[in-house]
Amino acid sequence: MSEVLEKGNVLVGVRVETTEGRELGKIEDFYFDPETGIVKGFELSGGKGRSFSTPASFRAGRDVAFVDPSAVETIIDLKEALRGD
């Protein structure tokens, strides 16, 4: 993951949409396992404030990242995600 960040592949600010065209917000931050580099989830802004999503699939473009429509089901309020509920 550090190699990705060092190369300037920054996801913060990228819009997230489902492959069916539903806008989910913009990436404000992302969380990953520092040992494996696996992304654990994304903090999104827009819509109903801040939320957290753990999409099963993720494909990043320059301005937009695409996720499977099932990602909508993983979106929860950020406060709830931080509590671990």
pLDDT confidence bin for 1, thresholds 50/70/90: very low
Residues 51 and 74: their CA atoms lie apart, in Å, by 10
Domain spanning 2-83: which superfamily?
PRC-barrel domain (2.30.30.240)
What pLDDT shows up at residue 21? Answer: 93
- The residue ranges of every structural domain in the chain are 2-83
Strand partners, 17: 23, 66
Distance between CA 10 and CA 1 in Å, rounded? Answer: 11
Cα separation values, 85 from 2, 11, 32, 35, 47, Å: 29, 26, 19, 25, 21
| Largest Cα span, the chain | 35
Per residue in 38-75, pLDDT tens? 777 888 887 566 777 777 777 887 789 898 888 888 78
Answer whether 66's CB lies under 8 Å from 19's CB: yes
Q: What is the mean pLDDT of residues 10-32?
A: 86
